[in-house]
Amino acid sequence: MLRDVSGEDSGIGTGMRRLRKYTWWSLVLLSYLAVIPGLQLAIGGTVSPTLLVVTALVTVLTIVQRARFVNRGLRRDPPPSGPSVEHAVTFASAAAAWGYAVAVVPNPISWAFLPGLLAGGVVLDTVKGRRRSTSFFMALMAAGACLLAWPYREAASDSWFPWFLAAMAAAFVLCFAALDVTQVWFWDMVVRIDESRAVAEELAVAKERLRFAADLHDIQGHHLQAIMLKGELTERLIGRDDEAARAHAAELTELARTALKDTRRVVHGYRGTDLRREIGNAVDILGAAGIDTRVHGDVRDVPPPLQALFGALIREGTTNILRHSQATRCELTLESDHATARVRLVNDGVLPRNSQPGSGIAGLRERFAALDGDVESRVIEDGAETLFELGGHAPVRR
């Protein structure tokens, strides 16, 4: 019933997933404070079984509903416009249990956990992101808990006790609600910072594309203008001075060659590999061939200078799997630490010739060696199964 939503955002990195798990568990584990009133009753042993059953039901309701509210509160979907019947009934049940305990339980302070825990969950699920609404709703629930504590009466010497119970009820409601709202606010801020980083990366790509477009325009514009003028001049000279026309035609051909060469140089300097897209293409292509492909690791963990290199290895590995194996499954793994980044493809369905590296792998070795890295290919005997592994690693430069 307590469903961890920490892994639902597939677009976030490993660190963000861990932070989300921490946030979710820290909020949900607070729910188990709701078992304290029931434990007090059970240890005391002077209450009726009916009261114990009702207490157990209210405790389970508090734990389950708080987990539901936390799940919805951690999602980034727009929250409901306000409290619903579900919120009202849930909080009213916990508040009623608190009010009843005030009247019949000798030491009812721990029962204030019930409305306090649900107050935070209800606030997360209804008015998160709205400061005025959040403050008003927290104050309203605290006031309700105070009023439920007021009927308690003691001897005249203990006339302060109703005030104390009312203050405790309000403090529990306000503290739990503030704690929950603060923790989810911190999570939202971290998510926004992470999204801002992604937007900054996209803007950098867009700026690079604009730079490339400008460079290509300058080079191509210059060469095309010269080719056009030479072509017009050659056209006029045909029939008048054929020798000069042939000379200009030769220059025209040379201009075209130069334009092509400069264009290739610009494209080669610009064109990089989108590693995420390369992985997606590999998964799609292998999947179309009936090969079950699993990807482990996060693209963001691979430094940008190495992503083009890793993309080339993934392309080569995918080609080898399709051409030189009868694979049914493939594992693609990305790993990175402070010193080294690694990429590895492992597939089954190995054919005998896979033990010999091809020219494509030799070319990869040269490219990895240029960055002080290396490429390894080997056949792995795993019991009755034979696997082929193609992997590469390179140092992470800071």
Structure tokens at 330: 């493939």
Question: 60 and 89 share a domain?
Answer: yes
Structure tokens at 266: 């610009």
Question: 63 and 173 share a domain?
Answer: yes
- Which stretches of the chain are assigned E, i.e. beta strand? 292-296, 329-336, 340-347, 374-382, 385-395
> Residues 271-276: what's their mean pLDDT?
67
Indicate if the pLDDT at residue 129 is higher than 60.
no
> Which residues make Cβ contacts (< 8 Å) with residue 361, sequence separation at least 6?
316, 320, 375, 377, 390
Question: 164 and 223 share a domain?
Answer: no
CATH number for position 217:
1.20.5.1930
Side by side, the strands of the sheet bearing 374-382 are 292-296, 329-336, 340-347, 385-395, 374-382
How many domains does the structure of the chain reveal?
3
Domain end point (choices 270, 295, 319): 270
> Residues 259-267: what's their mean pLDDT?
75
Domain end point (choices 167, 193, 219): 193
Within a domain: 139: yes
> Residues 246-260: what's their mean pLDDT?
82
> Which residues make Cβ contacts (< 8 Å) with residue 278, sequence separation at least 6?
310, 311, 314, 315
Indicate if the pLDDT at residue 392 is higher than 90.
yes
> Residues 219-236: what's their mean pLDDT?
74
Task: Quote the pLDDT of residue 334.
Answer: 93
Decide if 34 contacts 59 (C-beta within 8 A).
yes
Question: 253 and 351 share a domain?
Answer: no
Task: Quote the pLDDT of residue 158.
Answer: 53
DSSP one-letter code for 300:
G
Q: CA–CA separation, 374 vs 83, rounded Å?
A: 60
Indicate if the pLDDT at residue 330 is higher than 60.
yes
- DSSP string of 241-285? -HHHHHHHHHHHHHHHHHHHHHHHHHHHHH----HHHHHHHHHHH
Within a domain: 5: no
Q: CA–CA separation, 297 vs 336, rounded Å?
A: 9
Decide if 311 contacts 271 (C-beta within 8 A).
no
Question: 37 and 93 share a domain?
Answer: yes
Within a domain: 208: yes
CA distances 354 to 78, 283, 389, Å, are 53, 21, 10
- The confidence band for 245, taking pLDDT boundaries of 50, 70 and 90, is confident
Print the domain residue range for 241.
Answer: 199-270
CATH number for position 357:
3.30.565.10
Within a domain: 365: yes
Closest Cα to residue 374, out of 393, 346, 396?
A: 393
Question: 228 and 306 share a domain?
Answer: no
Judged by average pLDDT, the poorest of 43-47, 112-116, 132-136 is: 132-136
Question: 260 and 284 share a domain?
Answer: no
Question: 303 and 218 share a domain?
Answer: no
Rg (CA), the chain: 34
Partners of 374 in the β-ladder:
393
Question: 183 and 211 share a domain?
Answer: no
Q: CA–CA separation, 332 vs 346, rounded Å?
A: 7
Residue type, 164: F
Question: 125 and 47 share a domain?
Answer: yes
Judged by average pLDDT, the poorest of 53-62, 226-235, 304-313 is: 226-235
Question: 316 and 367 share a domain?
Answer: yes
* pLDDT tens-place string over residues 83-110: 567 777 777 777 777 777 777 777 777 7
- What's CA 158's distance to the chain center, in Å? 55
Within a domain: 6: no
Decide if 278 contacts 315 (C-beta within 8 A).
yes
Question: 205 and 350 share a domain?
Answer: no
Within a domain: 366: yes
Domain end point (choices 253, 270, 287): 270
Q: How many residues are there in the chain?
A: 398
Within a domain: 249: yes
Within a domain: 1: no
